[in-house]
Amino acid sequence: MGVFLKYKDKALELRLQNKSYLEISKALGIPESTLSNWFSKQAWSNEIKIKLTKVAKEKHIVRMKAMGVARRTVLQDYYDKARAEATKELLRNKFDPAFMFCIALYYGEGDKVSSHQLRVTNSDPELMRIFKIFLNKYMNVKDEKIWAQLILYKDLNSDECIDYWSKKIALNKARFTKSSFIVVRHKENKLKYGICIVGVSSRFLKEKMLQWLKLVPNCF
């Protein structure tokens, strides 16, 4: 530490100018540990530390707010792009009965509340198979991005039901998440293989679907 004593007066001058240990260290080449040993027990130096901490915190808050604004702007542009693509794709596909059928299917059975989940829930395997094809063909979603979940009655075997739905909708069993179980009082109309949810997690694709749902009524 003695080798740095000749710089102590200059270090003191910089400290009194509200410079941090890091700034002084970079300016004079003195280790921060040495500066701390010189000044940390001085009340005036601790006051400077408190002031610098407050200033750094305020700068951090301003920086984070700016980053938040920038991120929201980028995301808004991204979602605007999704809606613009959806508008063009609707013009191209509005006379395609399969496409329009799937939009109608989603209008009736799809999730419209979540901001990022594009999913349909139904007990009809054929409808779910068609929706899965819709994701593949019209939304360019590969099977490894599609997930499925079953809602089952307590006495049903999850593995057997997953095997059934996997074959019916042509989706690998590995894409099925853990099944949910429910209890019912009346069993006369109980679904033998439960209810299936098929979906993909994507805010971009959800924005597309919401745009289609908004614009399709104007096609009639």
Q: What's 30's DSSP letter?
A: -
What would the pLDDT profile of 205-216 be if each residue is shown by its tens digit? 999 999 999 999
Is the residue at 83 inside a domain? Answer: no
Nearest in space to 138 (alpha carbons), one of 100, 108, 167: 100
CATH number of the structural domain spanning residue 166: 3.30.1330
Q: Is residue 44 part of a domain?
A: no
Residue at token pair 């040993």 = 37
Answer yes or no: is 33 within a domain. Answer: no
Distance, C-alpha 148 to centroid of its chain: 18
Is residue 56 situated within a structural domain? Answer: no
103 has a pLDDT exceeding 90: yes
Is residue 204 one of the residues assigned to a domain? yes
At 69-87, the pLDDT tens digits run 777 777 788 899 999 999 9
Residue with tokens 């109309």: 189
DSSP character at residue 153: E
Domain residue limits at 169? 96-219
Given a cut of 90, whether residue 66 has pLDDT beyond it is: no
Percent helix, strand and coil across the chain, each to the nearest 5: 65, 10, 25
Asked whether residue 84 is assigned to any structural domain, the reply reads no
Q: CB-based contacts of 168: which residues, under 8 Å, 6+ apart?
A: 125, 126, 128, 129
- 106 within some domain: yes
- Domain count for the chain: 1
Query: Is the C-alpha dihedral spanning 136, 139, 141, 145 positive or negative?
Result: negative
170 in a structural domain: yes
pLDDT of residue 195: 95
Bigger pLDDT: 70 vs 191: 191
Nearest to 196 by CA among 102, 104, 129, 100: 129
